[in-house]
Homo-oligomer: A and B are copies of this chain.
Amino acid sequence: MTEITYLDAIREALTEEMERDPNVFCLGEDVGVFGGAFKVTEGLQARFGVNRVIDTPISEIAIIGAAAGAAHMGMRPVAEMQFADFIACGYDLLTNYVATSRYRTGLACPMVVRGPSGGYVRGGPFHSQNPEAAFIHTPGLKIVCPSTAEDAKGLLKSAIRDDDCVLYFEHKYLYRRIKGVMPAGDHLTPIGKARTARAGTDVSIITYGATVWRALEAADELAKANVSVEVIDLRTLSPLDDEAINATVKKTNRVVIVHEDTRTGGIAGEITARINEQCWEWLDAPVLRVTAHDVPLPNAPSLEDFVLPQTADIVAAAQRLLTY
């Protein structure tokens, strides 16, 4: 079995779904002839034609709005944000129109909005964002964040088939750094189900996206001191997999939530509140957060490294939990 990169896995998902369903089409800036800023859609226009891989003007409002309109008519659009940061320009369309359409009027919006998110790549404040927090807050939107190549493929295929709008935040740090062997057949990763990236008994690390790999590094580190760490990869941020969260809390009784996003208002707060509500009695220590600092993400390597969560931070948090 040959390994392919996380990036190729995304393209494979797009290719398979476009083969399977003629209603699936891609649209976005430079996705066609050029194959996208990161070459995710490379070759797709040559294969499927200009009507299935559409180069758009620089218009995030229109890209999202047009995807919604086409979705109403039974198409399955996959809209690309050149960088996930620019989804901010379509915030009104997504939160006010797309998220509410089924609820208000019964009109479905089966569409995917995907784009490269995340830092650790010296991208500076506008090419490194983790835009999930604002959308987790929006009923009507789903959000997935794959951390493995397998999930990059499986979640995108599920997202395309979902009957509602799924925001698919792929992590640009993982594009070419992570590889995997794709499961045979029609590989669908279910939306709403977390994954145990590593089983353990002493401390749980709940995370998603690029920091799954830092959590695994931290787990390796901690294993040297005989600390058994469980790493939960959320995969889907909306809806959250409460079952998986509760199970790991009840197993280890100690939790660190890790995210690359800034701390205040990030999803760790939500997860902490759910743990409080659902299994407070099982906690032997407070839930700790390891996250970015609350600043726009700066560009210089020294600054970015300081702001973003690092493996040592996760180790420190786990160690602190063990003092309780």
Residues of A bordering B, CB below 8 Å:
85-86, 88-89, 91-92, 95-96, 99-100, 103-104, 125-126, 133-134, 136-140, 238, 240, 261-262, 264-274, 276-277, 280, 285-289, 294-296
Contact = CB atoms under 8 A, between A and B. Distances in A.
Contacts of A273: 268-269, 272-273, 287, 289
B139 A262 contact: yes
The residue in A89, A139, A240, A267 that gathers the most chain B C-beta atoms within 10 A of its C-beta is A139
A100 B125 contact: yes
A255 B268 CA distance: 19
Contacts of A266: 137
Contacts of A104: 125, 296
A103 B296 contact: yes
Contacts of A138: 265
Secondary structure type dominating chain A contacts: helix
A63 to B, nearest CB: 14
Contacts of A287: 273, 276-277
A285 B283 CA distance: 12
Given A91-B91, A272-B272, A133 B265 contact: yes
Nearest to A271: B269
A242 to B, nearest CB: 11
Nearest to A60: B92
14 contacts: A86-B92, A91-B92, A96-B126, A104-B296, A137-B266, A139-B262, A140-B296, A269-B270, A269-B272, A272-B272, A273-B289, A277-B286, A277-B287, A280-B286
Contacts of A125: 96, 100, 104
A130 to B, nearest CB: 10
A270 B133 CA distance: 12
Contact of A99 (B96, B285, B296): B296
A268 B276 CA distance: 12
Given A137-B261, A139-B294, A280-B285, 5 more contacts: A86-B92, A88-B91, A91-B134, A137-B265, A273-B289
A139 B103 contact: no
